[in-house]
Structure 1
Amino acid sequence: MNYDTLQLDINGAIAIVTLNRPERMNTLGGSMKEDLHHVFTERIRNDESIRAVVIIGTGERAFCAGADIKERVSRALTLPAYHAGQKATHQLFSAIEAIEVPVIAAINGVALGGGLELALCADLRIAAEHAKLGLPEARLGALPAAGGTQRLPRMIGTALAKQLMFTCEHITAARALSIGLVNEVVPLTDLLPRALELANQISANAPLSIRFIKQAINQGMRVDLESGLEYERYAAAIVVSSEDRKEGMRAFVEKRTPQFQGV
């Protein structure tokens, strides 16, 4: 299936999702939300050969500049209509966050508003040196409503998250690295190669292990420690009986590369 606003490329076990509205700074307008929903919930989720996903924007200016303000400026919504639409956005971003394979956001330019909120749904974030990140909604009389008020404080702490949202500051990639918002900062020319390098490192490991590590961390961040430990025990019990664990142990003893099948 071809998408109007995205490009999907499958490179071995890696899916590369490219946000492709460069003339509108890859904003979340047109059919992009619908296209993202389909690519993640229909294409990627149902392809067991995919072991990692990279999201990147087209061009050098923008990963995603958030909502398409030119589309929205003349749109009048009732409170119920907006609430229903935003629920769909929450469901989309939560589906991206919850997908069982690791997701890497390769931030190739500005990640603002909904664009940063999209990146927050990824497991890892790598930024190009020139990238700028921010949640400027209050400058437009709005607020970060695609999960930003909830995910950002959990990632960098309440005080810093409030500062970024209250001031609407666009921070540099270096600053984002210093506060733990991104994992790495690299030159633009190295961005996609580094993201693919990480994705390939991940995909070489046991898929079941990676899946349950992701689920255990995500679940544990939402509950108390004892409940998180209980989920960890549950996940470990499932993995310990897998064929991949047996293969991993045999490969270690035989001093060879394991051949994991995801079972």
Structure 2
Amino acid sequence: MQLKTEKMTAHKDGAIGWITFNNPARHNAVSLAMWEALHEIVEDYAGDDAIRVVVLRGAGGKAFVSGADISEFEEKRSTPDTVRAYHDISQRASVALRDLAKPTIAMIRGYCVGGGVSLALSCDMRMASDDASFAIPAAKLGLGYEFEGVRKLVDLVGPAYAREIFYTARRFDAQQALSMGLVNRVLPLDRLEAYVQDEAARIAANAPLTVASIKTLVAQALKDESERDARLCQDVVDRCFASEDYREGRAAFMQKRAPRFTGR
């Protein structure tokens, strides 16, 4: 896959697809070209049946993502038209990540700020090192925050913590993030990558159709009742029961062996 920027890298390791924000000199601040490359990588993983789990991480060890690259704002985000164009490109990448039918894990070390939090919220799970810190400094910059970004945070941590995070614009440490429900786990720094690797491998070994169905059903559960697609909810369940993997799972259980799932 040929990307438009070297500041995003993709690496396939068996069933795990890795996405690395590779801009350590700027604490992995995301440029417009990086947003475009992220969309390309996610689309590639979406179409690759061999990839069953996707992990996002930041290069350099000091940050996951420190937000959008503010140095570009004067040129690419200073007028209503450029703000709209920037939003459309970044939103396209975020939506592709959120809607990817495969489980996604944000592996967070160091700073996770602004757009970094938004990217982490677009993932299904967030695993953080004990030196991680989180902030959404929109109120310190005077910028508006789109509804979808606010809703993602409210869905995860609830309205009271979402208000605190946005109103104060202050930094929260990993344990505070864990207590708010912003992250799933906090690990010692030297154990984080091995833990994420093991977790991703465990997920990849399970039935892909079942895992994908749960991702769909959780997303539907978070919608207002009037917006839910009941037919889709039933279809993803029916597809599991009609699959070869369901037959394989039953056979493996009876034969006391590990199942070999194919996603069909």
TM-score by length of 1: 0.94
Conserved in 2, the CA contact under 8 Å of 1:89 and 1:146? no
**Alignment-mate amino acid for residue 167 of structure 1:** T
Conserved in 2, the CA contact under 8 Å of 1:5 and 1:30? no
Conserved in 2, the CA contact under 8 Å of 1:90 and 1:146? no
Q: Secondary structure at 1:130's aligned position in 2? A: coil
RMSD (CA atoms): 1.9
Residue 146 of structure 1 deviates from its aligned partner by 8.5
Moved more, 58-67 or 72-81: 72-81
Partner of 1:113: 114
Distance in structure 2 (CA, Å) of the matches to 1:110 and 1:146: 23
1:100-249 alignment, distance < 5 Å: 100-145=101-146, 147-224=148-225, 227=228, 231-249=232-250
Partner of 1:53: 54
Q: Secondary structure at 1:182's aligned position in 2? A: coil
Distance in structure 1 (CA, Å) of the matches to 2:246 and 2:75: 56
Conserved in 1, the CA contact under 8 Å of 2:129 and 2:174? yes
Per-residue Cα deviation, 1:115-146 (whole angstroms, up to 9, x for no partner): 11000000000011111111001101113348
Structure 1 gaps, min length 5: none
Distance in structure 2 (CA, Å) of the matches to 1:105 and 1:2: 23
Number of equivalent positions: 262
**Alignment-mate amino acid for residue 122 of structure 2:** C
Partner of 1:6: 8
Partner of 1:21: 23
Per-residue Cα deviation, 1:161-195 (whole angstroms, up to 9, x for no partner): 01110110110010000011000001122111111
Distance in structure 2 (CA, Å) of the matches to 1:226 and 1:10: 36
Q: Secondary structure at 1:178's aligned position in 2? A: helix
Conserved in 1, the CA contact under 8 Å of 2:36 and 2:90? no
TM-score by length of 2: 0.93
Conserved in 2, the CA contact under 8 Å of 1:117 and 1:147? no
Structure 2 gaps, min length 5: none
Q: Using a 3 Å threshold, how does the CA distance of structure 1 residues 126 and 66 change in structure 2: closer, same or farther?
A: same
**Alignment-mate amino acid for residue 251 of structure 1:** A
